[in-house]
Amino acid sequence: MESAMKRKFSDHEMTAITKKNLGKAAASVKELTDGWANAAYQVILEDGGAVIIKAAPASNTKMMSYEQGLMQTEVGVLRLVKEASDLPVPAVYAHDATESLVDCEYFIMEMLEGEPYNKVKEGLTEDQRKQIDYQLGVYNRQLNEIRGERFGLYAAAEGSSSWRETFQSLLLGVLADGEREGVRLPADYDVIRTEAALRFGALDEVTEPRLIHWDLWDGNVFIKDGNISGIIDFERALWGDPLMEHYFSHFNRSTAFLEGYGIGKLTAEQQNRRALYDLYLDLILCIECPFRQYEDQYHLRWVQDNMEQGWKRFLENKNS
């Protein structure tokens, strides 16, 4: 997605980065445009090797309140998951947050084989999709088995012993971002706060912090030969409730994923929590637009429609 916040590297800067960190010049560079915040580049080195280089927005870029230490989070979680599990995540080769070589934070990682699931999904058979969804459920469960000591954003300096307190702060922070930017929502901001508060009690069931990817949608899953070859983009990871994961959201209704994850029908309290998480995601998709300065009119219309539908779903679930 084109975004004004993405840092563009010149060929000279890219070669300086690869020379310093890998001892090799960049022979060719291709920007990967699928990301939404950080810029990503596929770099072929002079010896034929290939890596991915990701660049964070400039340090003075206006970000949403929950977007704290995105690159620090991604690098830290990739290393943690690599050490604590056998999930197929790329290795991190270098990370530089000093801004001494270029005026932004960046890191270099292994280039995965395969293609993003969202790009190949339509060409797969139903059985292949079920197999992949099941495998993703297994992997997502393994990821969520990594336990933390506090709730909160991965890169946050401090956390909380209360998931209710943590999630309430995240949701209210996003709403405050929207108010500051004058983002139009389908209901008054105070009404949304009041309606959400009626469900916060359901969050008290969550007492153990688990590692959450949160952004594990099809575009962040790589597929090769009908199997998952990699999982990427951990920049929004946090310690929280596994039900917050994307494949439990209203965007997905995969029975195979649930089977692989090992979960059946959600309880009433779990449904209330999931309704809050759906609202949170829909709000972010809508409110982030002025921060990203998106120009795609189709996407801008889509997020407004999705927000209106999401608000209706939230109210209907509350009254059911």
Lowest-pLDDT range of 2-11, 18-27, 62-71? 2-11
Q: What is the pLDDT of residue 319?
A: 47
CATH code 3.30.200.20 for 11-110? yes
Q: Which of 305, 312, 145, 113 is nearest to 228 (CA)?
A: 113
Type of residue found at 39:
A
Tokens linked to 304: 């407004």
For 49-82, give one letter per residue: b (16+ CB within 10 A) or e: eebbbbbbbeeeeebbebbbbbbbbbbbbbebbe
Q: What is the pLDDT of residue 277?
A: 98
Which CATH architecture best describes the domain 115-319?
Alpha-Beta Complex (3.90)
Q: Whole-angstrom Cα distance, residue 54 to residue 17?
A: 11
Lowest-pLDDT range of 203-207, 208-212, 261-265, 295-299? 295-299
Question: What mean pLDDT comes out for the span 290-295?
Answer: 86
pLDDT at 103 over 80: yes
Show me where the domains of the chain are located: 11-110, 115-319
CA dihedral sign of residues 54, 289, 60, 7: positive
Tell me the CB-side half-sphere exposure of residue 262, using CA atoms within 13 A.
Answer: 8
Type of residue found at 162:
S
Query: If you ran DSSP here, which 8-state letter would residue 160 be given?
Result: B
Q: What is the pLDDT of residue 120?
A: 97
Question: What mean pLDDT comes out for the span 240-257?
Answer: 96
pLDDT at 58 over 90: no
pLDDT at 320 over 50: no
Mean pLDDT of the chain: 94
Decide which of 34 and 221 is more confident: 221
Note whether 240 and 206 are within 8 A (CB): yes
Decide which of 135 and 9 is more confident: 135
Residue 35 binned pLDDT confidence (cut-offs 50, 70, 90): low
Question: What mean pLDDT comes out for the span 139-163?
Answer: 95
pTM over 0.85: yes
Tokens linked to 292: 């990203």
For residue range 268-286, what is the model confidence (pLDDT) as tens digits? 999 999 999 999 999 999 9
For residue range 190-233, what is the model confidence (pLDDT) as tens digits? 999 999 999 999 999 999 999 999 999 999 999 999 999 999 99
pLDDT at 172 over 60: yes
Q: What is the pLDDT of residue 295?
A: 82
Question: What mean pLDDT comes out for the span 53-66?
Answer: 88
pLDDT at 2 over 70: no
Q: What is the pLDDT of residue 158?
A: 86
Q: What is the pLDDT of residue 68?
A: 83
Q: What is the pLDDT of residue 5?
A: 62
Q: How far is CA 205 from the centre of its chain?
A: 24
Q: Which of 298, 309, 294, 263 is nearest to 5 (CA)?
A: 294
